[in-house]
Chain A
Amino acid sequence: MKVDVRYFASLREALGGTEAVEVGEGSSVGALRDALAARGGRHAEVLGRQKAVRSARNRVLCAESAILGEGDEVGFFPPVTGG
């Protein structure tokens, strides 16, 4: 199934703003992150486990254990720094 991945801040600068990604049924947000990092290159640099990355599923902050559904929007970004 397909999900729409969106990147923000330093991740957006490294990877671009959006990409459509094919994932297996029942995949978690964390599994998606690991699969993207496994591509190597910039993906590994900014999404690897050495980096602090936060995630959102359908525009709500989520744990990486959150399970993905068809057409979900997944956001990956650094810790937030507003206010």
Chain B
Amino acid sequence: MAGARVSIRHEDFDLGAEVAALREGDGGVGAVAAFVGTVRDRSDGRSVASMELEHYPGMTEAAIEAMIDHAFARFDIRAARVVHRIGELAARDQIVLVVVASAHRGEAFQACEFLMDYLKTNAPFWKKEATDAGARWVDARVADDAALARWGIEAGNAAPEPPPAKG
């Protein structure tokens, strides 16, 4: 849907079309940074054929909208969009797109990485891999919490106990 900042869907996305749509009608854009996440065919030494992506309908969209609001408050950016796929995905499929437009490159690079770090630890998605040794739910990584901490935000997603109360 044109203009929507967040799209959670089964269908694939086209990076070129997404970048063009984000820039459309804004001559002040001088930089576009994009991140595309894809399904690896190996994970922890096992061969991965496909994965199932589950989400929390309603909450996922609202959570990512709030992250984009946060990015706008923090960086001088002109537009941002996040596309995240759900359902069954095959190895090598695209999973997630974060694309940010700004006047100059620094803000676009930073906001793109910020949004991705935020999404990894705070957007309600869960991956279940189908491997050569059976299906398994993917474990959260402490490294992803550390990535968000660099922006001064505590995640605690991968910690054994829940994160402390937020203000």
Q: Which of B58, B116, B166 contacts A83 (CB 8 A)?
A: B116
Interface readout for B137-167 with A: 1 if CB under 8 Å, 0 if not?
1111000000000000000011111111110
Known: A80-B123, A82-B123. A59 touches B162 (CB 8 A): no
B139 near A61 with CB under 8 A, answer: no
Known: A9-B54, A10-B137, A59-B56. A83 touches B162 (CB 8 A): no
* Measured CA separation A66–B163 after assembly (Å): 12
A81 near B96 with CB under 8 A, answer: no
Please name the residue on chain A nearest to B53 by beta carbon.
A82
Please name the residue on chain A nearest to B57 by beta carbon.
A59
**For chain B, what secondary structure do more than half of its interface residues adopt (helix, strand, loop), or is it mixed?**
mixed
Least Cβ–Cβ distance between B83 and chain A, in angstroms: 12
Report which residue of A12, A60, A77, A79 has the largest number of chain B beta carbons within 10 angstroms of its beta carbon. Answer: A79
Number of interface residues of B (CB under 8 A): 37
B37 near A75 with CB under 8 A, answer: no
Q: Which of B116, B140, B162 contacts A81 (CB 8 A)?
A: B140
**Which residues in B have their C-beta under 8 angstroms from that of A53?**
162
**Which residues in B have their C-beta under 8 angstroms from that of A81?**
125-127, 137-140
Binding site for B on A (CB under 8 A): 6, 8-10, 12, 52-56, 59-66, 75, 77-83
Q: List 19 A-B contacts (CB under 8 A).
A: A8-B54, A10-B137, A54-B162, A61-B124, A63-B163, A75-B56, A75-B124, A77-B56, A80-B122, A81-B127, A81-B140, A82-B84, A82-B96, A82-B119, A82-B126, A82-B127, A83-B96, A83-B123, A83-B125
